[in-house]
Chains A and B, each alone.
Chain A
Amino acid sequence: MRLLHRSRLALGLALVVAALAALPVMAQERGITPTEIILGTTAPLSGPAAPWGATARGIEAYLQYINEQGGIHGRTIRFEIRDDGYQPPRAVANVLELVERVGVFGIVGMIGSANAAAVRDYIFQNEVIWMTPAVESDPWIGNPNIHYLFVTYPNYYQEAKILARYAVQELGKQRVAIIYQNDQYGMNGLRGVRDALAELGMAPVAEVSYELTDVDLSVHALRIGQARADAVILYATPNHGAMAAAALAQLNPRPQILSSFTLADPIMARLAGAAWDGVIVPSYFPYPGTDEKVDRVLQILVERNPELAAMAFNALAGVTFIEPMLEGFRRAGPNLTKESFVAAMESIQNWDGELLRGVTFGPGRRQGINRIFLARMEGGVPHQLTDWIEYPVEY
């Protein structure tokens, strides 16, 4: 009896050893098996920024569709989502877990400058593929560690410059003001507006900041009125953007609002009502309702997760984070490794996806897009105003 026990133990040990020995062979390239590619993200699915978690849900639904089509080169894509509640310490734990336990090939997206900043060094040191963290571009410009980073997210600073120039040169506005959120995002907008106006020999007539915790922006709007601004550039969250638009609509004469692309979601027309009519908003991919391919993607997402219908732009933005990565997988072929993936991504030149258009990467180029277009919102429906407006490639 005891003998039997021992032999069982020995067998068990042998199995464990065999399993351990097999590990390094299987784990040749982290996150890639013959049948699967493992990707992960950490997103605010609970807590104050939960609505932005829709980007992760958008990616999830789109990957479900890709897997239903048979995946890419015989590999399906597993997407691991972790909740960080918009808290940097938890985002760090999630990324560590995704890389070290789950063993992901890459991290897709990431919401919040703070969360991205907290994990940045770890991701760079461990040479993890990182697709489009949805944050400002400053940390990447001039950074030598971004070999495994690919970004298709507009630059707030450049966008603000384009908005300010458009207000002055195309709309003939002489008194430009800005309402911005007092954080990294808003500050980038402020910098862009100041610099663009300075180039034209002007300066903002009012710079009004608000806090995330503010629940009323009517005083802020009054300051715009006092400064007799005829155009206001807006860097705000959807809720604050709607509040600001409603308050600005009370002014006489009513200033022209130009807003950041983060307020491009049609939900703005519902939040702000008629006050959102006439607002000029940029986008970095065609609006749903104006482009067949985009509509098709939205339909794919909503079929798989009906909740996304209410958050169309955010869900689609999620897809823009991952779309070029999927093209990279296609180009890298069946023999996928980290380096073959990077080479494949660098071969992407002026590529049109379902959502993104004109994506270009290259050796030493990690900024995938460098253009936006402007549209005027009427009753929640965008009317395109300009063709693509390009801005410099900086990283």
Chain B
Amino acid sequence: MQLIQKYEEEMALVRGWAGWMGVALLAAALLAAPWFLRGYQLYIANIIGSKIIVAIGLNLLVGYTGQISLGHVGFVAIGAYAATHFVTAFQKAAAFQWLGGPFWVALLVGGAAAAVFGVLVGLPALRLEGPYLSIVTLGFGLAVQQLLINWPAVSGGRIGLFVPTARIGPWLLNSHQSMYFLVWTCVVLLSLVAFNLTRSHVGRAFVALRDSDIAAEVTGVNLRYYKTLAFAVSAFYAGFGGALEAYVVRYLEPTMFNLYESIYYLAMVVVGGLGTIPGSMFGATLLTLLQFGLSQAQEYLPVVYGAVVILVMTIEPLGLYGRWLKIKLWSKTWPL
């Protein structure tokens, strides 16, 4: 057992030699994966990475701040289309052609565009709660998809939009392997940002709002600011994840952003564990793997998917992260 003596120790992201070993193993596994996984497995890994980013963002909103969003796919779509149009426009500008459209800026543009809409959707959230807020966000998600369908100049209509290949200078990221490194670097960076955010006064303000917004306001948390901020940050993650997914799939079409997807994102967060960053990762990984890996189950896929979600929630209401905590607790006195 470890005795925590200082506040910094309590706040540390990684604790003790076991923690560092775990981090090292995870890093090694992530780095080694491209040499062990086949092309299509890497593609799925890349999709998982982009979904993890969206799930982390949604968890900041739902798990930490206690707001709800049934239209998160709207932010994902905005991010994906904004990034794609930014890169395409950039490539067309003759002066910048040698840059080939900087994808890292595009990813940030995708995130920022979504964040702007996050603020807009966050405003009604100041007055609405629970079921009412869920309907507002639901409407937002549906509206974005309908807008895309009926605005061919943006969405390419139902013909779809082809996304240019990401490139760093002369290096074209046209293999699943190179995309893997891009996607997972983003996952690591954005996870760290999220971890730090939740440990900072901002994260505490979010949690305070979730537990009781009146009590939070009394203790000096600016409700208007932090609720809107939560929506903006969450939307930024969604937009960023959407932009990444656009680069991975290299094709966009409005049906990719339907209501089902919003529900799936919410399911990832709940199954993984509300209010935990690793939970978002577990949830996004499990549910994406189920969808993509079980395509052989054919008609039974939705049944299997549903059964797994029900099973996880029944035996572990705190989600996969709850189970992980129990395993950690149990292994503290290992090997006895």
A associates with B? yes
Give me the interface of A with B, judged by CB distance under 8 Å.
42, 45-48, 50, 53, 80-90, 92-94, 96-97, 99-101, 113-114, 117-118, 121, 182-184, 187, 211, 213
B279 → chain A, closest Cβ, in Å? 23
Residues of A within 8 A of B38 (CB): 100-101
5 tightest CB-CB pairs across the interface, nearest first? A96-B40, A183-B158, A114-B253, A82-B295, A118-B251
- In the complex, the answer to whether B256 meets A88 with C-beta atoms within 8 Å is yes
- B38 nearest CB neighbor, chain A only: A100
- In the complex, the answer to whether A87 meets B295 with C-beta atoms within 8 Å is no
Residues of A within 8 A of B250 (CB): 118, 121
- In the complex, the answer to whether B160 meets A118 with C-beta atoms within 8 Å is yes
* A96 to B253 CA separation, bound complex (whole angstroms): 19
A139 → chain B, closest Cβ, in Å? 9
Query: A118 and B298 in contact (CB under 8 A), knowing A93-B292, A184-B158?
Result: no
Query: A86 and B255 in contact (CB under 8 A), knowing A114-B158, A183-B158?
Result: yes
Residue from B40, B253, B292, B301 in contact with A88 in the complex, judged by beta carbons closer than 8 Å? B253
- In the complex, the answer to whether B157 meets A87 with C-beta atoms within 8 Å is no
Identify 18 residue pairs between A and B in the complex whose beta-carbon atoms are under 8 Å apart, listed by A's number.
Answer: A45-B298, A50-B299, A83-B295, A85-B301, A88-B255, A89-B248, A89-B249, A90-B295, A93-B292, A97-B295, A101-B40, A113-B158, A114-B158, A114-B160, A114-B253, A117-B253, A184-B157, A184-B158
Is B27 part of the binding interface, using a Cβ–Cβ cutoff of 8 Å? no
Main SS at interface, chain B: helix
* A96 to B256 CA separation, bound complex (whole angstroms): 18
B38 → chain A, closest Cβ, in Å? 6
Is B333 part of the binding interface, using a Cβ–Cβ cutoff of 8 Å? no
A115 → chain B, closest Cβ, in Å? 9
A-contact bits for B250-261, CB 8 A (1 contact / 0 none): 110101101010
Is B296 part of the binding interface, using a Cβ–Cβ cutoff of 8 Å? yes
Query: A100 and B160 in contact (CB under 8 A), knowing A46-B302, A93-B44?
Result: no
Residues of B within 8 A of A85 (CB): 291, 301
- In the complex, the answer to whether B160 meets A93 with C-beta atoms within 8 Å is no
- A118 nearest CB neighbor, chain B only: B251
Within 8 A of A (CB), among B283-336: 291-292, 295-299, 301-302
A28 → chain B, closest Cβ, in Å? 20
- In the complex, the answer to whether B47 meets A93 with C-beta atoms within 8 Å is yes
Is B245 part of the binding interface, using a Cβ–Cβ cutoff of 8 Å? yes
- In the complex, the answer to whether A89 meets B159 with C-beta atoms within 8 Å is no
B198 → chain A, closest Cβ, in Å? 29
Residue from A83, A87, A117, A182 in contact with B159 in the complex, judged by beta carbons closer than 8 Å? A117
- In the complex, the answer to whether B39 meets A96 with C-beta atoms within 8 Å is yes
- In the complex, the answer to whether B298 meets A89 with C-beta atoms within 8 Å is no
Residues of A within 8 A of B43 (CB): 92-93, 96
- In the complex, the answer to whether A93 meets B251 with C-beta atoms within 8 Å is no
* A42 to B302 CA separation, bound complex (whole angstroms): 16
Among A53, A88, A94, max chain B CB count under 10 A is at A88
* A118 to B292 CA separation, bound complex (whole angstroms): 16
Within 8 A of A (CB), among B70-84: none
Is B173 part of the binding interface, using a Cβ–Cβ cutoff of 8 Å? no
- In the complex, the answer to whether B301 meets A87 with C-beta atoms within 8 Å is no
* A90 to B298 CA separation, bound complex (whole angstroms): 12
A336 → chain B, closest Cβ, in Å? 25
Residues of B within 8 A of A213 (CB): 146
Is B202 part of the binding interface, using a Cβ–Cβ cutoff of 8 Å? no
- A136 nearest CB neighbor, chain B only: B159
Residue from A80, A94, A118, A182 in contact with B150 in the complex, judged by beta carbons closer than 8 Å? A182
- In the complex, the answer to whether B40 meets A81 with C-beta atoms within 8 Å is no
- In the complex, the answer to whether B159 meets A113 with C-beta atoms within 8 Å is yes
Residues of B within 8 A of A93 (CB): 40, 43-44, 47, 292, 295
A-contact bits for B150-167, CB 8 A (1 contact / 0 none): 100000011110100000
* A267 to B296 CA separation, bound complex (whole angstroms): 29
A-contact bits for B25-50, CB 8 A (1 contact / 0 none): 00000000000001110011001000
- In the complex, the answer to whether B295 meets A94 with C-beta atoms within 8 Å is yes
Residue from A47, A86, A90, A187 in contact with B292 in the complex, judged by beta carbons closer than 8 Å? A90
Residues of A within 8 A of B44 (CB): 93
